[in-house]
A and B are shown apart, each in its own frame.
Chain A
Amino acid sequence: MKAFWSRFRQNRGAVIGLVIIAIVIACAIAAPFLFPRSPWSMVQRPFLPPFEMDGLPLGTDALGRDVLSGLFHGARVSLLVGLVSTVVALAIGIPIGALAGYYGGLVDDALMRFTEFFQTIPSFALAIVLLAIFQPTLSYVILAIAIVSWPPVARLVRGEVLSLRNREFVEAATLSGQSNLRIILRQVLPNALPPIIVLASLMVATAILLESSLSFLGLGDPNVMSWGYMIGAARTVLRSAWWLSFIPGVAILLTVLALNLIGEGLNDALNPRLRKRTS
């Protein structure tokens, strides 16, 4: 762990990413305390520009809602959707990949055809279809994003399991009479963890981008304030109040960038071999 941290710390980008994410998390936690009123409530006249009034540093939107409050509350939604949908995608992808890689043969064929099918379908279009048909509540948004993001997990896990399956420690476990399930859970998967962690950090970033795109199109949960919704709502007033679209976009950009930087840092720190090869 210590060695991991010292390697991670050497990557300047990753540390910057970590700082940004810490700030976003702090905003998400602080939102209900700093802005106890609903971010949907009207607080001032509409289109108040930033830096003009004390207490409303980022001004108000087309309906007189506090933009800063929206940013803080939006951070909650982005992080929540990013994290939970990634966990759900891992919960779908890891078992499928592990079973395919461990058992091989017909099981592998069937599961991989299934995965390929989901990988071929245009994922964003599928997410749109799912949310257009089912009501876009927060849980369905999370589920839709998970459904379109699990295939890379399954493929990665399958590859890792394939390369670990014939190693001596797995044979030893088989000979000592452990059940297949136990071997997969206790011997194989823990060793496949590093690349999964790296992929997961990048998936959180992609999920946040997806969530914001869906909200932008009006397919987000209509009861929660999100960055994508803020941009979508400000789109029609782009000419007169460009900052209303600009500000939430910067928030998305920084959050996603930070997560990608962290992912790269994790990759370097967890795979020292790979690091030597590509740098």
Chain B
Amino acid sequence: MLGFIAARLVKAVFILLAILVLNFVLIHAAPGDPAAVMAGEAGAADEKFLQDLRERFGLDQPFTVQLWNYMKGAVQLDLGFSYRQQMPVAELIWDRLPATLLLTATAFVISIVIGVAAGVLAAQTQGTWWDTLISSLALLFYATPLFWVALMASLLFSVWLGWLPGFGYQTIGADYTGLARVLDIGKHLILPATTLGLFFTAIYMRMTRASMLEVSRLDFVKTARAKGLRNSVIQRRHVLRNALLPVITLAGLQAGQIVGGAVLTETVFAWPGIGRLMFEAISQRDYNVILGVFFISAAMVLLFNLITDILYGIVDPRIRLAQ
């Protein structure tokens, strides 16, 4: 098991380094001289200032040296400087990261719990109107644009019905502490997390349903039935446990998209995370921030992937042995 985890870790580190190279290439592929871009961001562009910038950031050095310096910095979490916000990018991101982690993790859990539960229900009631309802909902959620459903949810539940806050992270000026604060954040979390998770809920519903039906036809289920086990035991111990394997794989793959989707949800709900930071940086063309958020979100995805890989290794020993 340790060897398995180590192998995955090494792979993740390599991918992370490759993403850094990609980041570096991208900023250099951008039209115009990076020094001019930075000078533009700082609001001054005389030749001496440009020259200073080039020297300060080593832009007068060979490409490979620059790449090396860039990687060295990034490994120490130096992600450059945002001239718009007059702050190091890493600091900006650290400030906002907890909010995004909270949002994405909640969305992740909501989508898996609801998706798997609904999928199991649909599989067990196959052919009835429950099944039809769940399958139709899954089809609908799967086709709904995330940002649109977020807008509509905030309109319905926040503006019209007034049930839930549709803006921000906590009530402004309320200064709650302790449990009241947790509840306040939780209330603000419901709409963004549910809408962010909706698309994935649909995927898990379909996947779980298909997977449950597939597994129920296998021989070991027939054996269990022939042994006279109760149906509920068969479903839970034999079918569900095996049917969940592809769902776990999928969960790892979807993690990346949840992080990407956070840009949209955080923008709509003014959630103060790195997604909203990225949105603000887009309109200001603040490249260092955009690339910094990109790098951190890729790192988050790698972490999620690593966790699901390890989970998979625990749940299904065959995977470990195959490595």
The interface of chain A, by Cβ under 8 A from chain B, is 13, 116-117, 119-126, 128-130, 132-135, 205, 209, 212-213, 216-219, 228, 231-232, 235, 238-239, 242, 245-246, 249, 252-253, 256-257, 260-261, 277-278
Contacts and interface: CB of A to CB of B under 8 A. Distances in A.
Interface residues of B, number: 53
B26 A133 contact: yes
B232 interface: no
Nearest to A278: B210
Interface stretch (B66-74, B220-228, B234-242, B290-298): B290-298
Given A133-B27, A209-B145, A218-B283, A122 B256 contact: yes
A171 B257 CA distance: 41
Contacts of A228: 145, 147
A231 B154 contact: no
Contacts of B298: 120-122, 125
Contacts of A252: 145, 148
Interface stretch (B43-51, B90-98, B108-116, B260-268): B260-268
Interface string B134-170: 0000011011111111011011000100000000000
B263 A235 contact: no
Contact of A245 (B31, B151, B213): B151
Nearest to A242: B155
Highest count of chain B CB atoms <10 Å: which of A124, A209, A245, A246: A124
A132 B285 contact: yes
B278 interface: yes
Highest count of chain A CB atoms <10 Å: which of B214, B257, B294: B294
A122 B139 contact: no
A245 B291 CA distance: 30
B18 interface: yes
Interface string B239-279: 00000000000000100110111011001100000000011
Contact of A122 (B147, B283, B287, B297): B297
Contact of A120 (B29, B30, B256): B256
Contacts, number: 133
Highest count of chain B CB atoms <10 Å: which of A125, A238, A239, A249: A125
A178 to B, nearest CB: 35
Interface string B17-32: 0110010001101110
Contacts of A124: 257, 260-261, 263
Given A117-B15, A252-B145, A125 B282 contact: no
Nearest to B260: A124
A111 B11 CA distance: 15
B145 A257 contact: no
Contacts of B291: 129
A113 B31 CA distance: 29
Nearest to B302: A120
Contact of B143 (A116, A217, A245, A253): A253
B82 interface: no
Contact of A213 (B18, B140, B147, B210): B147
B152 A246 contact: yes
Nearest to A231: B148
B264 A260 contact: no
Nearest to A259: B143
B146 A120 contact: no
A260 B139 contact: yes
B192 to A, nearest CB: 15
B301 A257 contact: no
B294 A129 contact: yes
B151 A238 contact: yes
Contacts of B283: 218
A217 B15 contact: no
B306 to A, nearest CB: 11
B147 A238 contact: no
Q: Please give me the 5 A-B residue pairs with the lowest Cβ-Cβ distance, nearest first.
A: A124-B260, A249-B148, A257-B143, A256-B143, A122-B256
Contacts of A123: 256-257, 260
B282 A219 contact: yes
B305 interface: yes
Contacts of A235: 151, 268
A129 B139 CA distance: 30
A278 B211 CA distance: 9
Contact of B294 (A117, A126, A213, A219): A126
A219 B278 CA distance: 12
Contact of B293 (A125, A212, A260, A278): A125
A216 B214 contact: no
A213 B282 CA distance: 14
Given A133-B26, A238-B159, A242-B155, 16 more contacts: A121-B256, A122-B257, A123-B260, A125-B297, A129-B294, A133-B27, A135-B31, A205-B143, A213-B147, A216-B145, A217-B279, A249-B145, A249-B149, A249-B152, A260-B143, A277-B214
Nearest to A255: B143
A121 B19 contact: yes
Nearest to B151: A245
Contacts of B282: 128, 132, 217-219
Contacts of B260: 122-125, 128
30 contacts: A119-B253, A120-B256, A122-B259, A122-B297, A122-B301, A124-B261, A124-B263, A125-B294, A128-B263, A205-B143, A209-B145, A212-B145, A213-B264, A217-B282, A218-B283, A219-B282, A231-B148, A232-B147, A238-B159, A246-B152, A252-B148, A253-B145, A256-B143, A257-B140, A257-B143, A260-B139, A260-B143, A261-B139, A277-B214, A278-B214
